[in-house]
Amino acid sequence: MNYEFTIIVPVYNEEDNLERVETAFNDYFKIATKSTKVLFVNDGSKDKSQELIETICKRSPNFEYISFLENRGLSAAIKAGFDYVDTPILGYIDSDLQTAPEDFNLLLNHINHYDLVTGVRANRKDSFVKNMSSTIANGIRRTFTHDGMDDTGCPLKVIKTDFAKRIPMFNGLHRFLPAMILLQEGKIIQIPVQHFPRIAGTAKFGFWNRLIGPLQDCFAYLWMKKKYINYTVAKKG
């Protein structure tokens, strides 16, 4: 099949969610506005996630996977997804399904005119502490990046693949994807999407690594912004 759109799904110890992920995407494939496949990136899970991923991939050609030798973190999983995607457009969603695959259609409506379309979680269903720490972290990032995004941590994004592959990823920079597209002089927009409570598995980030990590990463971003190489070819022959 000639796929147009690949959705990256990072996985770390999500055995309780993966069958739900399979069902949700099989439903989405029926309504997707572009021919779509899913790329699982198993980030060195210690549970039965890999076994379940392989079973899902055997059941349908719309699913494929890569699996890390050891746990390397969310930024590494997203970067690996960027590296392995072979379609002109890619997306990203967390395997906890706190956002809905069906909302990719909302983002895809805008991808012809923008280089990154990110969701902004409306009526978030997280705890007060998680919501507050996320709000503070997003405020810190906006102060440093001036990207105008209200929810850069939203795990529902669509990006043109050629832009995604040029992002110089480091640990923590998955939180700065809109800003990294702006460094390439790309265009970005945010669109409200649904949000749901986590009903299985456990969150991988706590209060402090939602605050301290983003603050440290902001300084890395400022250094990168100062050193970033950008050019446009005017003519070749």
pLDDT per residue over 65-105, tens digit each? 999 999 999 999 999 999 999 999 999 999 999 999 999 99
Question: Residues 41, 116: contact at Cβ < 8 Å?
Answer: no
Kind and range of the H or E element at 235? none
What pLDDT digit, counting tens, does each position of 202-218 carry? 665 555 555 666 777 78
Q: What is the pLDDT along the chain (237 residues), one digit of tens a residue?
A: 799 999 999 999 999 999 999 999 999 999 999 999 999 999 999 999 999 999 999 999 999 999 999 999 999 999 999 999 999 999 999 999 999 999 999 999 999 999 999 999 877 655 555 656 666 666 666 666 677 777 877 889 999 999 999 998 888 778 889 988 998 999 999 999 998 876 775 665 555 555 666 777 788 778 878 888 888 889 999
The answer to whether 195 and 98 have CB atoms below 8 angstroms apart is yes
What residue ranges do the domains of the chain occupy? 5-227
CB 85 within 8 A of CB 139: no
Q: What CATH superfamily classification does 5-227 receive?
A: Spore Coat Polysaccharide Biosynthesis Protein SpsA; Chain A (3.90.550.10)
pLDDT, position 229: 81
What is the distance between the alpha carbons of residues 159 and 147, in angstroms, rounded to a whole number? 16
Nearest to 171 by CA among 68, 44, 72, 69: 72
Closest CA to 158 of 231, 91, 79: 91
pTM of the model: 0.84
- 5-11/89-93 β-pairing: parallel
